[in-house]
Amino acid sequence: MTKKEEQELKRQQKLQAELERLEGMLVYEREYRPLGVVCGIDEVGRGPLAGPVVAGAVILPEDCQILYLNDSKKLTERRRELLYEEIMEKAVAVGLGVVSQERIDEINILQATYEAMREAVGKLDPQPEILLNDAVTIPGLSQRQIPIIKGDAKSQSIAAASVVAKVTRDHMMIALDEAYPQYGFASNKGYGSAAHMAALREYGPCPLHRRTFIRNICG
């Protein structure tokens, strides 16, 4: 076997392994699709010190194949951007929910996350009958909900929602960096990096900061 043939064989084996992984991520979709339209839901931004929490809700076509789709945290920024474009092109419907830092301070991060998820689901057309959620059960929704622990690594629909929410929030924080460059939002996305913490101590909070998250830092 020539070197070129060996490389092609390895490529084919790698592709086959990826296709098998994706096949395993369709188990929940195939189980519940006979009951109606299935939607995956996930959120991004529960932990940062600044900025909104963002939820994504995605309905994919039956047996949709999006190579390398996975939990957004396991992907490079470049891969997420490419997958975002493919998801938006292939999805039957995508809904986004965004809840501000002011609202997070008002009702707490858990309730704000639920609010973002309800908003994301409400924007879908068609409306789903089955919700595949990453670990949570969302109050205030009439649809049947299937909470899946580590669902963003087990369901293609939830993984797609994870990627859409992550890329959307990252773009928002990059844009907001222009107004408040001293905090480095373009790089830290509002999370508590060392540089972000140092800037908070030097400059104090800006309007994007969650006051209930930074009381012990800024007083």
90-111: per-residue pLDDT in tens?
999 999 999 999 999 999 999 9
Closest CA to 208 of 185, 199, 195, 165: 185
Cβ atoms of residues 44 and 169 within 8 Å: yes
pLDDT at 8: 67
Using left for φ > 0, alpha for ψ between -120 and 50, and beta otherwise, residue 190 falls in: left
What DSSP string describes 61-96? Answer: PTT---TT---GGGS-HHHHHHHHHHHHHH-SEEEE
5 is in an annotated binding site: no
Q: 13 pLDDT band (50/70/90 cuts)?
A: confident
The string of pLDDT tens digits covering residues 132-181 is 999 999 999 999 999 999 999 999 999 999 999 999 999 999 999 999 99
Q: 73 pLDDT band (50/70/90 cuts)?
A: confident
Distance set, CA 126 to CA 93, 183, 209 (Å): 7, 40, 35
134 is in an annotated binding site: yes
Cβ atoms of residues 165 and 116 within 8 Å: no
What DSSP string describes 181-205? Answer: GGGTHHHHTTS--HHHHHHHHHH--
The whole-model pTM stands at 0.93
pLDDT at 218: 65
DSSP designation for 36: S
Measured from the Cβ of residue 11, the count of other Cβ atoms closer than 10 Å reads: 10
The string of pLDDT tens digits covering residues 110-125 is 999 999 999 999 999 9
Q: 18 pLDDT band (50/70/90 cuts)?
A: confident
Cα(32)–Cα(29) distance, rounded to whole angstroms? 5
177 is in an annotated binding site: no
| Residue in the block written with tokens 């690594």 | 153
What single letter denotes the amino acid at residue 25? M
- Domains contained in the chain, CATH given: 25-167 (3.30.420.10)
